[in-house]
Structure 1
Amino acid sequence: MERNYAEDQANEIEALESIYCNDIEVVSTSPHNFSITISTEEYDAETDSNGLSCQLVFTYTEKYPDSAPLVEIESPINFEDDFEEKLLEHISETINENLGIEMIFSLVSSAQEWLNVKWDDYKKIEESRAQQKQRELEEAERKKFEGTRVSVETFLKWRNEFERDTGLVEKREKQATKKLTGRELFMQDKTLNESDLKFLEAAGEPIENVKIDESLFQNLEDLEFGSDDDDDDDYVPGADDSD
């Protein structure tokens, strides 16, 4: 007995309308052309967020279901660049597995499952990214408390910059060029401590025979080694004496 394709197609459309209700839209009946909207469970239709969604558009061929229906994808939401192509390939595989029987329900269910898998993969990737970002933030906070690891080179560099910024280098340079008084020169020049001994050696006098009166040096710090006027290049002795 020859198969009545038109009757089989009409019966399937009637069954699909009862299953998908508001999600199916019949565009024409000759040939039968209709669309069914599918989306992931968490998808928010009001904001087009938190999921994937699209319309599967089917057109019966003359000898459907013994021949494959035409399938298109319209209004994809949150799809990546290659999602449409891959979903159509997935649907094509399901068609080949169901030739000879009414298959639209199987095609829609298979496509729905494919979307769910892709959305789960997306959520895993986003969760992994969020965890990585959290680890990076925690690592950054930990480094703040640890501070910077110090080596000899970094310490010397820091010290030089610190001394420059605080003016210590300039202060040292000024102190180095500051004119010293006679007393300061005497106190800083350690060679003067040995000058008398070297003089005696040069004169042929044995050092061990020299007697030193230690009391002469006990109050050395109380002595004044000249006034400030002595360090003045323009100072003339007796110029300030009264007549």
Structure 2
Amino acid sequence: MTDYVEEQRNELEAMESIYPDSFTVLSEDPTSFTITVTSEAGDNCQTVEATFKFTYVEKYPDEPPLWEIHSQENLEDGDLEDVLTLLQQQAEENLGMVMIFTLVTAVQDKLNEIVDVMKYKQEEEQQRREREAEEAEKGAFHGTVVTIENFLLWKAAFELEMAELRKKTQKEEDQAGKHKLTGKQLFERDHNLDTSDIQFLEDAGNNVEVDESLFQDIEDLDLDEDDPDFDPLEMGSDDD
């Protein structure tokens, strides 16, 4: 007949010896204790941690102990579910043998895997950011790659813009033409226009000064009007 109490007592002493800094007895009837499991340190000394509360049932180890997550750090809900599923599997595989050390070791390995996944995700995120920065830098120097699709889109937008511009220009020209006055409209607006030019010429004529010294007296000119070769224009050109 299995002495459950003796097996439980022996395992309890072994756990206290193996995990002196993370093992704590909570009660003796029923026997309940906690063990804190911490992963190995990842990048930037990041770790994940979980404290498990185990309670012996009367027929342990022929029946699995009770367990629950007492506290945790840096573990997501999905990770906690995975850990609890792992404990259930390990307990079923080790029925009939004391199993706390086996359970804790399995959890330790799982937490290390979780840290490795976190490290991989961080590296992947860093590489993604570097790729985006590199692509942005290339785009700044080389501009957008021209393809048939984006060229046709640009062409359609450009032609639409030009059509709108021509339409606006034509409208402005039409409006300007409407406001331009005809000669008749100008005359009707200012009745003095018909006499203003004449008045200007008269005023200008009255103010013209003639230098008589520039002209010779007609009597001083030796002109032979009876000469058939007489040409006053030619004489003028000779004087020049």
Name the TM tier (shorter chain): 0.5 to 0.7
Query: How much does 1:147 deviate?
Result: 2.5
Look up the match of 2:204: 241
Of residues 73-82 and 35-44 in structure 1, the stretch that sits farther from structure 2 once superposed is 35-44
The two structures, once aligned, show a CA RMSD in angstroms of: 3.2
Query: How much does 1:240 deviate?
Result: 4.5
User: Relative to 1, partners in 2 of residues 1:138 and 1:28: Cα closer, same or farther, differing over 3 Å?
Assistant: same
Asked if the contact 2:42/2:115 (under 8 Å) is kept, the reply is no
Q: Which has the higher helix share?
A: 2
Letter aligned with residue 111 of structure 1:
V
Letter aligned with residue 31 of structure 1:
P
User: Relative to 1, partners in 2 of residues 1:148 and 1:94: Cα closer, same or farther, differing over 3 Å?
Assistant: closer
Q: Secondary structure at the match of 1:22?
A: coil
* Matched residue count: 173
Query: How much does 1:6 deviate?
Result: 0.9
Would you say 1:81 and 2:77 are equivalent positions? yes
Greater relative contact order structure (CA < 8 Å, 6+ sep): 2
Asked if the contact 2:42/2:119 (under 8 Å) is kept, the reply is no
Look up the match of 2:222: none
Would you say 1:50 and 2:46 are equivalent positions? yes
Q: Distance in 2 between matches of 1:153 and 1:65?
A: 74
Letter aligned with residue 56 of structure 2:
Y
Query: How much does 1:241 deviate?
Result: 1.1
User: Relative to 1, partners in 2 of residues 1:153 and 1:73: Cα closer, same or farther, differing over 3 Å?
Assistant: closer
In the alignment, structure 2 segments of 5+ residues that lack a partner are: 178-192, 207-240
Look up the match of 1:13: 12
Q: Secondary structure at the match of 2:98?
A: coil
Query: How much does 1:124 deviate?
Result: 1.0
User: Relative to 1, partners in 2 of residues 1:43 and 1:142: Cα closer, same or farther, differing over 3 Å?
Assistant: closer
Would you say 1:134 and 2:130 are equivalent positions? yes
- Structure with the greater alpha carbon radius of gyration: 2
Query: How much does 1:157 deviate?
Result: 4.4
In the alignment, structure 1 segments of 5+ residues that lack a partner are: 178-232
Q: Distance in 1 between matches of 2:65 and 2:204?
A: 129
Q: Distance in 2 between matches of 1:147 and 1:239?
A: 72
Q: Percent identity?
A: 39
Query: How much does 1:39 deviate?
Result: 1.4
Look up the match of 1:203: none
Query: How much does 1:103 deviate?
Result: 0.8
